[in-house]
Amino acid sequence: MQTTLEAVKCNSCGFLHPVGIFCCPKCGSEDIEQIETEASGKIYSYTVHTFVPAGPLKSRAPYVLAIVETKDGMRFSAIVDYEDPNSVKIDDPVVFKGFEEGVGPIYQFAG
C-alpha cells in the first residue's frame, strides 16, 4: 500500500486539494505548492453502484464510490475495494492502493 499522496497546499489559507489545480478553489490564491500528504483516511460519504457500467469499471460492479477524507482533511472521490460492498459505513478506515488508469484513485477497506 502506498502511504503518501501528492497534493496541492494553499499557502494563503492552508486548503489541501488533489493535484491538478493552478489556484486555490477555496480562496482563489495562486500561492500554492505541491506537497506529499498522508494517504490513509476514512469514508466521509459513499454510494454503492450495483449497475454494470461500460468501460474500466465494468469488472468492478458492484463497487463503492466514496468521498475519502485523509487524515490531513483533504476530501476527494475514489473507488474503495470491499469484500462486501454492502458492508461499507461512514468513518470506515481506508488505505490507498494506487491509481488505476481510466478510473482514478483506488482505496482498500482497512478494518
pLDDT in tens, 5-29: 999 999 999 999 998 899 999 999 9
Q: How many separate domains does the chain show? A: 1
pLDDT beyond 90 at 70: yes
Residue 43 burial class via C-beta count within 10 angstroms: exposed 0-12, middle 13-18, buried 19 and up: buried
Question: DSSP character for 83?
Answer: S
User: Could you report the per-residue pLDDT of 42-66, keeping only the tens digit for each?
Assistant: 999 999 999 877 888 888 889 999 9
CATH of the domain at 49: 2.40.50
Mean residue pLDDT of the chain comes to: 93
pLDDT beyond 90 at 82: yes
Model confidence at 111, in pLDDT bands (50, 70, 90)? confident
Asked if 23 and 48 touch (Cβ cutoff 8 Å), the reply is no
User: Could you report the per-residue pLDDT of 86-103, keeping only the tens digit for each?
Assistant: 999 999 999 999 999 888
Domain that holds residue 17: 4-109
pTM of the model: 0.87
